[in-house]
Each structure stands twice: as structure tokens, then as C-alpha cells.
Amino acid sequence: MLTKKQQELLVFIDERLKSDGVSPSFEEMKEALSLKSKSGVHRLINALEERAFIRRLPNRARALEVLRLPDALKAEKPALSLVSSRPHPSQSTPAPPAVAMLAANDTITVPLHGRIAAGLPVEALESDQSLSVPSALLGPGDHYALEVSGDSMIEAGIHDGDYALIRKCDTARDGDIVVALINGEDATLKYLRHERGLIRLDPANSAHQPQRYSPDQVRIQGKLAGLLRRYH
């Protein structure tokens, strides 16, 4: 249960991220909530982070991500089932993809950059195609889409032929599902891990083996933000 000020701050951050793509400054938060000092903002941020409503993004100033909203706020929005994925590799039996209960009347057109391997790395294909995506699936930042090829992420709910929606970034945490460009030529979709000075790319399929590379061989090109699936 959030206090009134915690909820007000969460909504303010969420609306600013959706409108501008960046979180507000502590000064803007202080003014918006009519607080006397920034220390009050710090306390509210810490409380929201402890309750897993937000998280701080590493290596970026003013970088906050809204993870969820209170149920009371969600209930005010019309529902539509959309495939969205935040699986975790430690799950022995992966949970089904989360269903985002959000409005999807608005769509965003994102570039469709060919196919990406969810198996062994394949050449990353560029194209001039695009894909219309429900805006409810995408958070702040720039995004692009890739068609998934292969079955190495199937235990994370990512199937051959799915469209992976990728938020552009060049850094990621251990456990994130990332687009990794290997040796500047091949791209693959895998869990990211750091292991004894190496980059380990983990599949989500017991029939596949992890891939290990030196850090200079791997460049992060984005993190999985969601999935689209066509049913035939």
C-alpha cells in the first residue's frame, strides 16, 4: 500500500517518462509534490524502489524505470491481452509471458531489422521494413523489432517466428535478455552474464550450450522490451 505522496510521485514519474522519454529531475519532483527539500524526494524514491514499483538504471543520470503501477490505477485502463516478456533464467519451469492489461488503441511504427538468431549467431540483416506495434508494449526510449529465428529461447517463452521488440541501449545487467552483436557481424538473442572476465550468452533451452566471448567481441545493441506473436 502506497502513501498518497508515494503514489503521486510514481504517477508523475510514469507520465513524464511516457511524454518525454526521460525521468524528471529531483528538483522537478520536489516542485511537483510541493516538498520542502530534495531529501523528501530521496525518501519517496527509496520507498518506491524497496516496494519494486521503480528501479534505478545503472550508469545513467536521472535514470528511473517504472516497473508497475498500483492495482487501483491499472483498473482504470481498458484491458487487452498483449504478449510481454521479462523471464528469468533461474526459473526451472518458466512462467508464462506476462499479460499486459493496457489500452492498445495507439500504435507506434518501429523499424523491422530482419531476423535474429535465438540459436547460434547468424548475420544481422538490415531492411527498410517496419512494424506497427501497440504503444502499450513499449516504454520510453527508441525501439526496433527483429523476427526471431530458432528455438534456443523457447523456455523463456520466445518462439521461432515471434517478433522481439528491442529497446536500444548499449549496457545491460546480468540476467537481461539482450541483442548481442558478436565480432561486428553476427547477432543473437540471449541472456547476458559476466563470468571470470568473459561475456557469457545463455540460451533458455536445455538442448543448447552457453556461448562465451571476450568483452571486446561483444557489443550490446538493445534489451528485450516485449514480444508480438502471430497465430495462424
Bridge partner list, 180: 188, 220
* Active-site entry in 190, 206, 214, 223: 190
H, E, C per residue of the chain: CCCHHHHHHHHHHHHHHHHHCCCCCHHHHHHHCCCCCHHHHHHHHHHHHHCCCEEECCCCCCCEEECCCCHHHHCCCCCCCCEECCCCCCCCCCCCCEECCCCCCCEEEEEEEEEEECCCCEECCCCCEEEEEEHHHCCCCCEEEEEEECCCCHHHCCCCCCEEEEECCCCCCCCCEEEEEECCCEEEEEEEEEECCEEEEECCCCCCCCEEECHHHEEEEEEEEEEECCCC
Active site residue 30: no
* Active-site entry in 152, 168, 206, 214: 152
Active site residue 190: yes
Residues with a known catalytic role: 152, 190
